Amino acid sequence: MSETEQQSGGGKNQPLRAPRGTRDVISPEVERWQDVERAAHDTFGRYGFREMRTPIFEDSSVFEKGTIETLQSAQKGMYRFVDLGGHELTLRPEGTPPVIRAYVEHNLSHSKDVARFYYIGPMFRYERPQKGRYRQFHQIGVEVFGSESAALDAEVIDMAMTWLGDLGIESLQLFINSVGDHDDRPAYMEKLIEAQKDLLAEMSEDSRRRHEINPLRVFDSKDPQDQLLIEKFPTILDHLSPQNKAHFDEVCAYLSDWGIDYNIEPRLVRGLDYYRRTVFEVTSSALGAQNSLLGGGRYDGLVEQMGGDNIPGVGFAAGLERIVLALPEGAGATPIDCYIVTVSPKLIPQAMKVMRDLRSHGLCCTADFQGRSVKAQMKAANRSNAPIAVIFGPDELSKGVCTLKMMESGEQQEVSLEILVEDLHRIVHMADPGN
């Protein structure tokens, strides 16, 4: 079947399917996503970051400084299209350029204050899909504008590690490097290109292509033969200018001081071309081949290139799908407290009234309300994993009571509607040792 057919769900009589490289996120997985997002709002909020929501598509020119070349050199494409008005638009492949575009457009730099933002949302890259790598994926990212201080590099790294650590993700590893800037990069690049030229014949085709477009990106090659060659290349860390070396040492000193474990990885260059000085990546062995959870770095110069003032920036972007994959078992479950069962459809209005009351008192409850048999409703209650079924029958309702059935033991008891809220709270509370 051709890709076009696969994408559209196929030809005649083929079931409709989500496009290749995209996924539907359905309960109980979606609750895991919500957990990660909630933790980001909480943690980033505590660090003084404010959320920014930008459009999903932008003028294509927003991604011209850095993103396009990088994605091309990694053989990834962008979703570009011309709309009915003839505008060249691109579905955003990453969050940093749109946030910078908004930061500049809304004159947010005028106060000269350090500004901290974060975003959550879908990104689009045309690449070869596999587990942990999609064409529509989601990133949670942060950007800090306004200071070159190493304290801010350390702050965003600390925030990322706190967030991922609090989520209970195991075996997190932080890798950090400096890729220099205009002071030291040109001289180093000459040396690197020379070293690569000598070994071109032994390099993979992909790396030879990367060498032509951006020699630094050869470091990203996963090819085993390339890996051996990469060991022989000079590293930028050994060629840093004194200022950039001092900046890097300062970032590392903060991390050591705060007890954050890190590995200096001189061959870490990070995909995006606009990075200057600090770059970092966080991985988890809970993931397979695509083990990178988050990557970031400093991008001084990019704001100016995009039409703003000369304002430095540092940030990271984390892959939501991958964080969800790395979460411990059991995370994200939002239990239903009780399932409402009505003996007759006529009782639905009364049952709904009680349900509204339970919900307004913080209890999570649901019901079937199709008028199915009690047996069918009890089966649905079982499938919902609710610990309690609340059963309404005509005789009981006329007496102002209902029946609670403990789903696990099968035990039943009659309860007055007047104390239903308290009773349910007590039972739910007892059943949840976390409370």
Q: Which residues bind ligand AMP (CB under 6 A)?
A: 94, 125, 127, 132-134, 137, 139, 271-272, 292-295, 317-319, 321-322
Give the tokens for residue 75.
Answer: 């053989």
| Residue showing tokens 């696969």 | 6
Nearest distance from C-beta of residue 75 to ligand AMP, angstroms: 12
CA distance 272 to 359: 48
Q: Report yes or no: 114 and 146 within 8 Å, Cβ to Cβ.
A: yes
CB of 243 to ligand AMP, least distance (A): 25
Between 289 and 376, CB nearer to ligand AMP: 289
Long-range pairs for 162-168: beta carbons < 8 A, 24 or more residues apart: 162/43, 163/39, 163/40, 163/43, 163/44, 164/282, 164/284, 164/293, 164/294, 164/318, 164/323, 166/39, 166/43, 167/35, 167/36, 167/39, 167/323, 167/327, 167/331, 168/327, 168/328, 168/331
Identify which of residues 206 and 321 has a Cβ nearer to ligand AMP in the complex. Answer: 321
Q: Quick count: other Cβ atoms within 10 Å of Cβ 174?
A: 19
Q: Can you tell me which residue has the tokens 């060629």? A: 239
Least distance (Å) from ligand AMP to the CB of residue 165? 17
Other beta carbons within 10 angstroms of residue 121's beta carbon come to: 16
Closest residue to ligand AMP in the complex (CB): 319
Single-letter code of the amino acid located at 268? L
CB of 130 to ligand AMP, least distance (A): 9
* Identity of the residue, 180 or 319, whose beta carbon is nearer to ligand AMP in the bound complex: 319
Cα distances (angstroms) measured from residue 393 to each of 118, 336, 337:
51, 22, 20
Residues 6+ apart with CB under 8 A from 211: 193, 196, 200, 203, 218
Dig out the tokens for 328 from the structure.
């411990």
Q: Provide the minimum distance between the beta carbon of 133 and ligand AMP in the complex, in angstroms, as a whole number.
A: 4
- The minimum distance between CB 281 and ligand AMP, in angstroms, equals 7
Least distance in angstroms from the C-beta of 125 to ligand AMP: 5
Nearer to ligand AMP, 211 or 270 (CB): 270
Question: Measured from the CB atom, is 317 or 367 closer to ligand AMP?
Answer: 317
CB of 271 to ligand AMP, least distance (A): 5
- Contact indicator for 403, 393 with CB cutoff of 8 Å: yes
SS3 content of the chain, % helix, strand, coil (to 5): 40, 20, 40
CB of 52 to ligand AMP, least distance (A): 17
Comparing CB distances to ligand AMP, the nearer of 58 and 337 is 58
Residue 330, sorted as left (phi over 0), alpha (psi -120 to 50) or beta, turns out to be: left
Between CA 216 and CA 405 the distance in angstroms is 65
Residue 220 or 368: the one with the smaller Cβ distance to ligand AMP is 220
216: how many CB neighbours lie within 10 A of its CB? 23
Q: How far apart are CA 270 and CA 256, in angstroms?
A: 22
What residues contact 322, with CB distance under 8 A and at least 6 apart?
Answer: 132, 284, 287, 290, 292, 293
Nearest CA among 280, 319, 431 for reference residue 93: 319
- Complex with ligand AMP: residue 140 or 341, whichever CB lies closer: 140
For ligand AMP, the closer CB: 139 or 278: 139
Strand order in the sheet with 50-51: 50-51, 115-124, 136-145, 313-319, 292-298, 276-284, 172-178, 263-264
Query: Minimum distance between the CB of residue 387 and ligand AMP, rounded to whole angstroms?
Result: 36
User: Which residue lies nearer to ligand AMP by CB, 233 or 299?
Assistant: 299
Give the nearest distance from C-beta 102 to ligand AMP in angstroms: 18
Nearer to ligand AMP, 30 or 415 (CB): 30
